[in-house]
Structure 1
Amino acid sequence: MNTYSHPFPPIINNNTQILFLGSFPSIASFEQSFYYAHPRNAFWPILEEIFNIRLETNEAKKTFCLEKGIGLWDVIGSCERSNSSDTNLKNCIPNDFEKLLRDYPNIRALGFTGKKSYDLFRKHYKDLEVERVLLPSTSPAHAAMKREEKAQSYKDFLDKFLTV
């Protein structure tokens, strides 16, 4: 098992109102230096469907998020792992959310894109005052829920907390 540090910075700016939080980048995300890069991950297709937009490049995805008030980051700053599965992540050290939320006070809510990120955040930041919503995982490993149902959960979250 190897130790890894998070390979890229959050996508965030002073207009960010909601922050989607995964656990830790997949191997595919490491290779592409971008969030939710696995070709079968439904995160980007869901956002494209909700906003009726086509996002062809990582730069287009980043620009879209920043313009819409959407931030992306991960709960884990470093960990040990041997594959991309969340169940494989060991000795997890979280990112500094106290500082992040101080630096970006317009963040109204955190949307966790899976149970691992939600549980780790609760473990390390149980007293941090910020709205938290557990969303269904967009990973191809989470096949128990249809993509349409996942998309509706993400749309409801965005409708509630995003005021762009």
Structure 2
Amino acid sequence: MLEEGFPCSADPDAKVLILGSMPGRKSLDEQQYYAHPRNAFWPIMASLFEFSADIDYEKRLGMLRSNGIALWDVAHRCVRPGSLDSAIRLPSVIINDFEAFFHDHRKIRAVCFNGQKAAELYQHRVVPTLPAGSAHLPVLRLPSTSPAYAAISFGDKLAEWQKILNIL
């Protein structure tokens, strides 16, 4: 089944764009980015930007926006049985409109990826479609916050994700 992702959460003056690949099953069901209770995304963001990971979802999004963070996914639509990035059927991927995004968000300094699949999709499917200025933005691949990526600890993930603060 073709699944559809979420709209971008961003203020016009956002400085960092964080991209996932496509929301997982729990996120799609809840209609919230990173809704799986064991996903480390919100605890990491809460630590970086000093808010409680337990606050209301809209307030969490607002905390990111107020700190210059835009949140989105590379895929607008795709077929992915389950939640694993490895299950994304690449021929089915329809990417989001990044040309329009970068036109409307001219202060973006860097694009950060929540995991390898988001970085790969962006490099192969998005960069070739972008105007030169947007195509040459610095990129940073960060460790996936997914509970399926257990190769490194929460503390190590947090240490890597802190690199965003240097961009802001």
Q: Same fold (TM over 0.5)?
A: yes
1:36: which partner in 2?
34
Do the aligned residues in 1 keep the contact of 2:13 with 2:106 (CA within 8 Å)? no
| Unpaired stretches in structure 2, ≥5 consecutive residues | 129-134
Moved over 6 A (4+): none
Q: How many residues align?
A: 159
Q: State the Cα distance separating 1:31 from its structure 2 match.
A: 1.5
Q: What is the aligned partner in structure 2 of residue 136 from structure 1?
A: 143
Please state whether the residue corresponding to 2:28 is helix, strand or coil.
Answer: helix
Match of 1:4 in 2: 3
Within 5 Å, which residues of 2 pair with 1:79-158?
Answer: 79-90=78-89, 91-127=92-128, 128-156=135-163, 158=164
1:51 deviates by 2.6
CA positional deviation for 1:160 = 1.8
* Counterpart residue number, 1:68: 67
SS of 1:38's equivalent in the other structure is coil
**Residue type of the partner of 1:161?**
I
**1:17 CA drift (Å):** 0.5
User: Counterparts of 2:87 and 2:59 in 1: how far apart (Å)?
Assistant: 31
Q: Distance in 2 between matches of 1:80 and 1:130?
A: 29
Q: Which runs of 5+ in 1 are unaligned?
A: none
RMSD: 1.1
- Using the size of structure 1 for normalisation, the TM-score is 0.92
| Cα deviation 1:15-72 (Å, max 9, x = unaligned) | 2100110000011111221111110000000111223321411011011011111110
Once residues 129 and 103 of structure 1 are traced to their aligned partners in structure 2, the CA distance between those partners, rounded to angstroms, is 17
Residue 106 of structure 1 aligns with an amino acid whose one-letter code is: K
Percent of pairs identical after alignment? 35
Distance in 1, matches of 2:112 and 2:7, equals: 18
